[in-house]
């Protein structure tokens, strides 16, 4: 067995860790960089390997220090601190669809000052599709992000943006290809068409929340993240075709490099794509020089190079998972396959070893995103992986052919649909299987346990003591998980009045009085809402309130069709008619609600406080969210549900008075009225938010506002299912959380 070459891997890991730390403490970057360079110089002769480690640390930290000033210019920091509006010009770094809640962009100009600053824009999407590289201009306000975030600022437009520039030609050709391919793919039936663009070019905009959840539960999301396998297929086809035509080796390598660049532009330079592309470029360089290829040193060199170019990749989950998966394949796939060959045929051992090595390597980090274990992940990958290269190769050919020879492109799309539909079916099958995801501890304890479990599983393939230890660990886990489940069921309060479902980034809150139940919003995913309702024993819903039409509030509405008696909706928009028709078809009475509409729910009284009937001065969307207050004479909790209402509309609400519980607006964004929360004086603030949601929710400003109001935040991302009951004393609130 060949020992892995760790000479570059250890410096890469050290540089990565140092970078991940110092981007969170920017003031430490320069001292750490200087210290690394100085000590590396001293040890260069005496301890060259240690010097190399320190050199990597110094190089990466120097990059952090050099980037920091341009990443957060003083002018933008001052504007964010003063809450001052600025006139900006943005260059989109992702395709922006009409109605998008948020999108990533590069801020290239602010109040006439040129710059290049990564930002996340909330709202402000143009009325037509905008390709990567297209430019928008508008006036907006800024908020700073945490130091380690890969976006330097959050940007909130004040008005409708103006498109001021088309993408440059070197990007526009790829925008056209992506748009044509996405349109052709989504015209195909079922989820196979929705998934095809993700498999071929990494465009997952057509993948709905249900399919996305199924891909996650079955550990198949990596198939829609373009990475090394895709780059290898593309380069391999160019090299093989060139060899078949008798093209000289140097020309084939040059052609492969050119195709690789075009491929990266087409699929967009996401972190996993960058890692794969840099590794592929290094492989081509090694082939050109005639030197032997070694996977681990190439991975380490690519990692160091990318961290120097963009240090904020150090905390990017896409980059971390991509590197870990590749390292897992390089280090563990062959040993696992050899160990399995003692009991299985070689081909089957290899089929199992590849997804198992990747999953064991990535699982500790995945725990940070989703504290659960995909039970059938390896089996699902064994069934889906063979179809992925077919969908990728044929899909890419279709993407090009749709421009050159459209009928051929449409035919190739239909062929690529078959493996795509198979992968979607596999995801659905295993996501719906019993115990598809097993519970696991969250945060640092969960990560450490996952590391220990992964190491034990790898050792178990070789040593008998590890197999015995793994068996004991499985028994202990089963006992602990079963005991915890029983304890949770027994410990739940039977008198809960308000429940917050853990449905990811979105809202789904229940209010119960006697045998009657109200649901405020449905979250983005019907399946997760069904699970929550079933878990709480809710069969019928007397009242459903859909505060507004954003997907994270109405995407799960299919779960209430047929079980809702009455539904209140806000001002209609272009997407509302079909959903209303679906609710009516399920037997519900659907009513347009506005300020003044009221009713009873058991012993509770509810009233809609917003929006005003005529919507004068109220923007559609978040600002027109239904706001509902519930209360009763005595012995129950009062609550206010704010939807996604922003600060401007919050300040225009009629006097509400004190409430026991407030459902925090817009998942804890910074667009909040401090005066409203101080006036409410709520004991508990409920926040419906998804883990690592990318929006920075809940923001520090909102948490500071709650603290100043004496309101305790309770979050679905950290706490899971939330049940709120009246306390033993008058005015007290009792909160039970799943975690």
Most confident option among 141-145, 347-351, 463-467, 511-515? 511-515
Cα(574)–Cα(649) distance, rounded to whole angstroms?
Answer: 22
Cα(335)–Cα(591) distance, rounded to whole angstroms?
Answer: 63
Helix (H, G, I), strand (E, B) or coil at 631: strand
Average pLDDT over residues 220-232: 76
Cα(49)–Cα(710) distance, rounded to whole angstroms?
Answer: 54
Cα(439)–Cα(418) distance, rounded to whole angstroms?
Answer: 33
Summarised one tens digit per residue, pLDDT across range 694-737 is: 677 888 889 999 999 999 999 998 888 999 988 777 778 888 98
Look at residue 46 in the predicted model and tell me its pLDDT.
80
- Residue 232 in this model has a pLDDT that exceeds 90: no
Look at residue 684 in the predicted model and tell me its pLDDT.
92
Look at residue 640 in the predicted model and tell me its pLDDT.
95
Which tokens in the block code for residue 466?
A: 């590890």
Whole-prediction pTM = 0.71
- Residue 487 in this model has a pLDDT that exceeds 60: no
Look at residue 617 in the predicted model and tell me its pLDDT.
56
Look at residue 481 in the predicted model and tell me its pLDDT.
66
Confidence category of residue 491, pLDDT binned at 50, 70, 90 = low
Cα–Cα distances (Å) from 144 to 463, 647, 689, in that order, read 51, 18, 19
Q: H or E segment at 688?
A: none
Cα(256)–Cα(243) distance, rounded to whole angstroms?
Answer: 12
Which tokens in the block code for residue 134?
A: 């297209």
Confidence category of residue 43, pLDDT binned at 50, 70, 90 = confident
Q: H or E segment at 537?
A: none
Characterize the bridge pairing of strands 684-687 and 712-715: parallel
| Helix/strand/coil (H/E/C) assignment for every residue in 341-365 | CCCCCHHHHHHHHHHHHHHHHHHHH
Summarised one tens digit per residue, pLDDT across range 534-580 is: 888 888 999 999 998 888 898 888 888 888 899 998 887 656 777 88
Q: HSE-up of 444 (CA within 13 Å, CB side)? A: 0
């Amino acid at each position: 067995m060949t020992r892995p070459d760790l000479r570059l891997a250890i410096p890469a890991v050290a540089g990565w860790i140092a970078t991940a730390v110092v981007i969170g403490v920017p003031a430490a970057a320069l001292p750490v960089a200087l210290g690394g360079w100085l000590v590396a110089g001293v040890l260069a002769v005496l301890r060259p390997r240690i010097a190399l480690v320190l050199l990597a640390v110094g190089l990466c930290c120097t990059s952090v220090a050099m980037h920091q000033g341009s990443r957060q210019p003083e002018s933008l920091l001052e504007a964010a601190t003063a809450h001052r509006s600025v006139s900006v010009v943005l260059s989109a770094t992702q395709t922006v669809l009409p109605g998008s809640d948020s999108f990533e962009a590069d801020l290239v100009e602010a109040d006439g000052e040129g710059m290049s600053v990564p930002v996340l824009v909330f709202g402000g999407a143009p009325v037509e599709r905008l390709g990567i590289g297209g430019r928008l201009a508008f006036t907006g306000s800024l908020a700073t992000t945490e130091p380690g975030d890969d976006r330097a600022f959050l940007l909130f437009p004040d008005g409708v943006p103006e498109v001021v520039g088309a993408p440059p030609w070197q990007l526009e050709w790829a925008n056209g290809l992506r748009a044509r391919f996405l349109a052709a793919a989504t015209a195909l039936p079922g989820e196979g068409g929705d998934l095809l663009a993700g498999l071929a070019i990494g465009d997952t905009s057509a993948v709905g929340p249900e399919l996305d959840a199924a891909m996650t539960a079955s550990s198949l999301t990596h198939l829609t993240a373009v990475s090394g396998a895709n780059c290898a297929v593309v380069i391999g086809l160019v090299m093989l075709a060139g060899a078949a035509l008798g093209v000289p080796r140097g020309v084939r390598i040059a052609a492969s490099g050119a195709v690789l660049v075009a491929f990266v532009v087409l699929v967009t330079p996401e972190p996993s794509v960058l890692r794969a592309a840099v590794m592929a470029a290094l492989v081509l360089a090694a082939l050109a020089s005639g030197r032997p290829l070694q996977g681990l040193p190439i991975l380490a060199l690519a990692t160091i190079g990318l961290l120097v170019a963009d240090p904020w990749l150090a905390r990017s989950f896409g980059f971390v998972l991509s590197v870990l998966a590749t390292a897992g394949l390089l280090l563990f796939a062959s040993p696992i396959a050899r160990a399995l060959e003692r009991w299985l045929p070689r081909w089957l051992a290899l089929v199992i070893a590849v997804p198992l090595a990747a999953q064991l390597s990535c699982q500790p980090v995945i725990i940070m995103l989703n504290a659960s274990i995909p039970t059938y992940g390896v089996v699902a990958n064994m069934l889906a992986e063979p179809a992925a290269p077919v969908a990728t190769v044929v899909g890419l050919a279709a993407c090009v052919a749709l421009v050159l020879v459209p009928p051929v492109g449409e035919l190739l799309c239909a062929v690529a649909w078959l493996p795509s539909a198979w992968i979607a079916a596999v995801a659905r099958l295993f996501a719906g299987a019993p115990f598809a995801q097993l519970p696991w501890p969250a945060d640092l304890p969960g990560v450490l346990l996952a590391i220990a479990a992964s190491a034990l599983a790898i050792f178990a393939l070789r040593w008998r003591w590890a197999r015995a230890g793994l068996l004991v660990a499985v028994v202990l886990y089963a006992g602990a998980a079963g005991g915890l489940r029983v304890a949770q069921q027994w410990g739940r309060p039977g008198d809960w009045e308000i429940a917050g479902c853990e449905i990811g980034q979105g809202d789904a809150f229940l209010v119960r009085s006697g045998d009657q139940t109200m649901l405020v919003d449905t979250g983005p995913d019907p399946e997760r809402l069904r699970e929550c309702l079933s878990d709480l024993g809710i069969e019928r819903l007397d009242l459903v309130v859909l505060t507004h039409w954003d997907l994270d509030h109405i995407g799960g509405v299919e779960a209430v069709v047929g079980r809702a008696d009455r539904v209140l909706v806000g001002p209609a928009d272009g997407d509302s008619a079909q959903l209303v028709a679906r609710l009516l078809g399920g037997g519900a009475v659907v009513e347009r609600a506005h300020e003044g509409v009221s009713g009873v729910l058991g012993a509770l009284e509810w009233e809609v406080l917003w929006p005003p009937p005529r919507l004068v001065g109220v923007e559609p969307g978040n600002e027109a969210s239904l706001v509902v207050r519930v209360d009763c004479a005595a012995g129950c909790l009062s609550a206010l549900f704010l939807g996604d209402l922003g600060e401007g509309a919050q300040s225009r609400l009629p006097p509400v008075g004190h409430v026991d519980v407030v459902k925090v607006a817009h998942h804890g964004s910074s667009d909040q009225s401090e005066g409203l929360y101080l006036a409410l004086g709520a004991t508990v603030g409920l926040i419906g938010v998804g883990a690592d949601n990318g929006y920075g929710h809940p923001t520090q400003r909102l948490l500071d506002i709650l603290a100043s109001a004496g309101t305790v935040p309770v979050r679905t991302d950290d706490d899971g299912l939330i049940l709120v009951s009246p306390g033993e004393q008058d005015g007290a609130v009792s909160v039970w959380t799943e975690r």
